[in-house]
Structure 1
Amino acid sequence: MIYFVYFIVVIAFLDTFSQLPIIAPFAQSLGASSLVIGLIVGMYSLANMGGNIIAGQWIDKFGRKRILVLGMFFVSVCLVGYTFVTTPSQLLTMRLIHGLGGGLLVPSAFAFLGDYSRSGNRGKTMAFSGAGVGISAIIGPAFGALVTKSLGIVWVFYIISALFFVTAIFILFILKENYTPKQTKQTGFNSSEIKKLLGLPPLINAYIGAFSLMLTLGILAYMLPLKIAEAGQSVAFSGMLLSTFGIVAILVFVLPTNKLFDQVKREKMVITGMVFVCIGLVILSSFEQIIILFIAMFFYGIGFACIFPSVTALVIDHSTKHERGKAFGLFYAFFSLGVVVGSFIVGAINVAPNQGLLIGAVIMICLALTIQWRIRVNETSQ
């Protein structure tokens, strides 16, 4: 059953990754300004934050399966809505609605995985889930770019919509609920548990790691296609570059290197990954040669591979079964916030692609130092 959940993770992230190389150019083709393009790219994730937090409450209250199925059907309908968009404002609205529905998916899937995992192999379990994300990162950008080039952008939305609809049907008949909600009289928003989860030092480090990872991905999604376009390359090439880091990450996840995620302290793996991501972004911002751009994405892939399983395992380690939905809801809210902040910053200040990528590197290294400082303060206080 856990392998079916891995498959769901692949599908859930395929939606996001397939749009990475096409949303910024799509918005640009509708006449959007630099600032509006940044808002459009980031709006999905901004709305996703709200969806994540709502999902966290519902997942623990109603169970994982119901919210997962609801999210799948909702996103399927939203994707068809993109095909009717003709103006930047309509695209911005569609991204808002899509983000709210999409926020229900990933916390539900990872709450399932957290319930299935055992304390001794949580890092490895999350590494395999990361492989699912990596598969989406390989297939998604290449799929989005190639389908757009050959059939038109609307077919990206039609095909992914159909895939989500079929997956929702499979979940209804195949996936068994493995969680029994706690009987409680509370009916509203449980702010006390949210405050508790936001106050745990290991979870704060996980949230910072998630935020930093997706901040750089948001900048990458905005700046890399524009950098490639300025160099005279096609959108398909930017898709290939974005897929490269997924290939590298999957190799780290499925090879014996995945043992490191249960042998090395989680926060150390996170900081190591952040350094690799920083190196990749600096190289991307400094060179134009094709082979060097692929090397940069190799470094980014290693960084992604170090960060993702470690931060998700931290969430499982420091949350109980009856608060895991909320913990992952908050976790993916910070994921979404990272994309919002990253794309908005580079869009608002209207920088060139190379400058935007360098800004991402500077922010990443600052956040890595923040986690390191927090670890030292926490060790000193104990």
Structure 2
Amino acid sequence: MRTAVWLYVFLFVAVFDLHAQYPVLSPFALSLGATPAFVGLMMGVYSLTHLPGNLIAGPLVDRFGGKPFVVGSLVAAGVCLWLQSRVAEPWQLLAVRAVAGFVIAFLSPACLAMLAKLSADRFAQGKLMAGNGLVHTLAAVVSPAAGAMLAARFGFEGTFAALGLALVGIGVLAALGIPSDAKPPSPGQEEALGGRRKFPEPRRRIESFRGFFGNGPERARGVPPLFYLTPAALACSQGILYFELPLSEAARRSLETSGALFSLVSVGAFVSLALLFLNRYSPYARAAAGGVALALTFYGMAIDWPVPLAPTLVLIGMAKGVLWPAMTTHLLVLTDERHYGRAFAALSVASSVGAFVGPLAAANVRDDVSPFWVAFLLLLPAIALLPGARRAAPPIAGLPEKM
């Protein structure tokens, strides 16, 4: 459990630093002369450059363990944040954000794979994933408001420089505090590595690539491709929301107001994650319920329902707080320990695609229709197509699973 505590501490600081940028980044880009469409492109490119990082991260995490990628990702992201404080043109900000999107792509698959390896019990893994969501949400509750206050007091440049140096520092601490999770190679693997053929045959390389998405012979249980529609739709809806919030009338009043709006989403997620009894229910049922609730909330925003913005954002956060940990736990049911890195990397790939599409879609349709229609129309079919477990997980003694 000490490893889990260390991972949670490092994740808290990393998420704090990264989420503190949300209410600050759009005003900073606009102050450099960027247009709203360019802001959408900047947010989308950050997610787009996640893709090659995610594709590389999965097999490497499975091969070498997660620690080197946690440390390297934190330090590199901190350097990018520090460079972000030195940009003077919109295109420079775009370039730095593109690099930052690539290096930070290694963090999530590595951390989630390390957490999943701490226990072989499905219920315990579910609690670890819920703990990850809880830490993520705690940091996200305070970080947007804190980032906005820092920017109001020290300016954009000082805020980015401080956040970058903090990430570098937490990366150094991670190198000292996290034990290695890399497993020593088996005798057969050592013999293969020591022989003449150090690389797999072309056919085996193709099968390994197919196994990344759960269809190759390396997998005992493959992840159905339809599963990844849900994280893609969730990330797309979040990208739309995070693009629209800084441009809303309420957020334009002050940076502090913008930060408070972002924090309300995290407050709602924290409320859901604090309801630990939800872990007793099937992850598939929780994911479906959270996804439908989230889609209906975006539908309400699209039709301009009479519910004020503040409670609406709390409802969105509550739905996300149910959906995300349930979805990651459901992914564990569909895969096996040997390929957690690949599974979570594929999850990050799907999320990156959605996060790239979301801001761009919002920037291009907001003059004609509400962008929240896009979020609703993507979420509902994705949840309807979410596949269930192919075979039931073994029952937990003394704890019957509810449906």
| TM norm structure 2 | 0.84
Task: Verify the 8 A CA contact 1:274 1:368 in the aligned structure 2.
Answer: yes
| Partner SS, residue 181 of structure 2 | coil
Q: Equivalent of 2:247, from 201, 222, 226?
A: 226
Q: 1: distance between equivalents of 2:237 and 2:353?
A: 11
Q: Equivalent of 2:311, from 271, 290, 295?
A: 295
Count of aligned pairs = 370
Q: Equivalent of 1:207, from 215, 228, 233?
A: 228
Q: 2: distance between equivalents of 1:360 and 1:235?
A: 25
Residue 26 of structure 2 is matched in structure 1 by 24
Match for 2:167: what amino acid?
A: F
Residue 394 of structure 2 is matched in structure 1 by none
Task: Verify the 8 A CA contact 1:203 1:314 in the aligned structure 2.
Answer: no
Q: Mean Cα displacement is larger for which, 160-169 or 173-182? A: 173-182
Q: 2: distance between equivalents of 1:199 and 1:54?
A: 16
Task: Verify the 8 A CA contact 1:12 1:106 in the aligned structure 2.
Answer: no
Q: Equivalent of 2:149, from 132, 140, 146?
A: 146
Residue 291 of structure 2 is matched in structure 1 by 274
Q: CA deviation at 1:190?
A: 5.0
Match for 1:77: what amino acid?
A: V
Answer yes or no: is 1:265 the counterpart of 2:268: no
Q: 1: distance between equivalents of 2:225 and 2:282?
A: 15
- Distance 1:87-1:266 versus aligned 2 partners, 3 A rule: same
Answer yes or no: is 1:357 the counterpart of 2:372: yes
Residue 168 of structure 2 is matched in structure 1 by 165
Q: Equivalent of 1:73, from 72, 75, 88?
A: 75
Task: Verify the 8 A CA contact 2:52 2:102 in the aligned structure 1.
Answer: yes
Segments of structure 1 that go 5 or more residues without pairing to the other structure are none
Residue 193 of structure 1 is matched in structure 2 by 208
Segments of structure 2 that go 5 or more residues without pairing to the other structure are 216-221, 392-403
Q: CA deviation at 1:133?
A: 1.4
Q: 2: distance between equivalents of 1:285 and 1:238?
A: 20
Task: Verify the 8 A CA contact 1:51 1:101 in the aligned structure 2.
Answer: yes
Task: Verify the 8 A CA contact 1:23 1:41 in the aligned structure 2.
Answer: no
Task: Verify the 8 A CA contact 1:206 1:314 in the aligned structure 2.
Answer: no
Residue 237 of structure 1 is matched in structure 2 by 257
Q: 1: distance between equivalents of 2:95 and 2:360?
A: 16
Task: Verify the 8 A CA contact 2:265 2:316 in the aligned structure 1.
Answer: yes
Match for 1:293: what amino acid?
A: L
Match for 2:277: what amino acid?
A: K
| Partner SS, residue 233 of structure 2 | helix
Task: Verify the 8 A CA contact 1:34 1:350 in the aligned structure 2.
Answer: no
- Distance 1:228-1:191 versus aligned 2 partners, 3 A rule: farther
Match for 2:207: what amino acid?
A: S
Q: Mapping of 1:26-105 within 5 angstroms?
A: 26-105=28-107
Residue 325 of structure 2 is matched in structure 1 by 309
Q: Mean Cα displacement is larger for which, 115-124 or 324-333? A: 115-124
Q: CA deviation at 1:166?
A: 1.6
Task: Verify the 8 A CA contact 2:63 2:182 in the aligned structure 1.
Answer: no
Q: CA deviation at 1:271?
A: 1.8
- Distance 1:232-1:347 versus aligned 2 partners, 3 A rule: closer
Q: Equivalent of 1:217, from 220, 231, 238?
A: 238
- RMSD over aligned Cα, in angstroms? 2.6
Residue 5 of structure 2 is matched in structure 1 by 3
Deviations 1:155-181 (A, max 9, x none): 221122122112112112111113315
Q: 1: distance between equivalents of 2:143 and 2:227?
A: 26
Q: 2: distance between equivalents of 1:197 and 1:56?
A: 8
Q: 2: distance between equivalents of 1:275 and 1:34?
A: 30
Deviations 1:114-142 (A, max 9, x none): 10133222222211110111112212211
Q: 2: distance between equivalents of 1:156 and 1:206?
A: 38
Residue 271 of structure 2 is matched in structure 1 by 251
| Partner SS, residue 326 of structure 2 | helix
Task: Verify the 8 A CA contact 2:290 2:322 in the aligned structure 1.
Answer: yes
Match for 1:173: what amino acid?
A: L
- Distance 1:6-1:305 versus aligned 2 partners, 3 A rule: same
Match for 1:209: what amino acid?
A: T
Q: Equivalent of 2:133, from 130, 134, 138?
A: 130
| TM norm structure 1 | 0.88
| Larger Cα-atom Rg | 2
Q: 1: distance between equivalents of 2:248 and 2:10?
A: 32
Deviations 1:60-117 (A, max 9, x none): 2222111111111111111111012122211111111111111111111111101013
Q: 1: distance between equivalents of 2:323 and 2:14?
A: 19
Match for 2:114: what amino acid?
A: F
Identity, in percent, stands at: 24
Q: 1: distance between equivalents of 2:57 and 2:140?
A: 24
Match for 2:54: what amino acid?
A: N
Q: 2: distance between equivalents of 1:3 and 1:227?
A: 38
Q: Equivalent of 1:174, from 173, 177, 180?
A: 177
Q: CA deviation at 1:3?
A: 1.3
Q: Mean Cα displacement is larger for which, 181-190 or 111-120? A: 181-190
Q: 1: distance between equivalents of 2:378 and 2:340?
A: 29
- Distance 1:148-1:190 versus aligned 2 partners, 3 A rule: farther
Match for 2:312: what amino acid?
A: A
More helix by share: 1
Q: Equivalent of 2:124, from 112, 121, 137?
A: 121
Match for 2:338: what amino acid?
A: H
Q: 2: distance between equivalents of 1:260 and 1:151?
A: 42
- Distance 1:18-1:335 versus aligned 2 partners, 3 A rule: same
Q: 2: distance between equivalents of 1:284 and 1:349?
A: 15
Residue 396 of structure 2 is matched in structure 1 by none
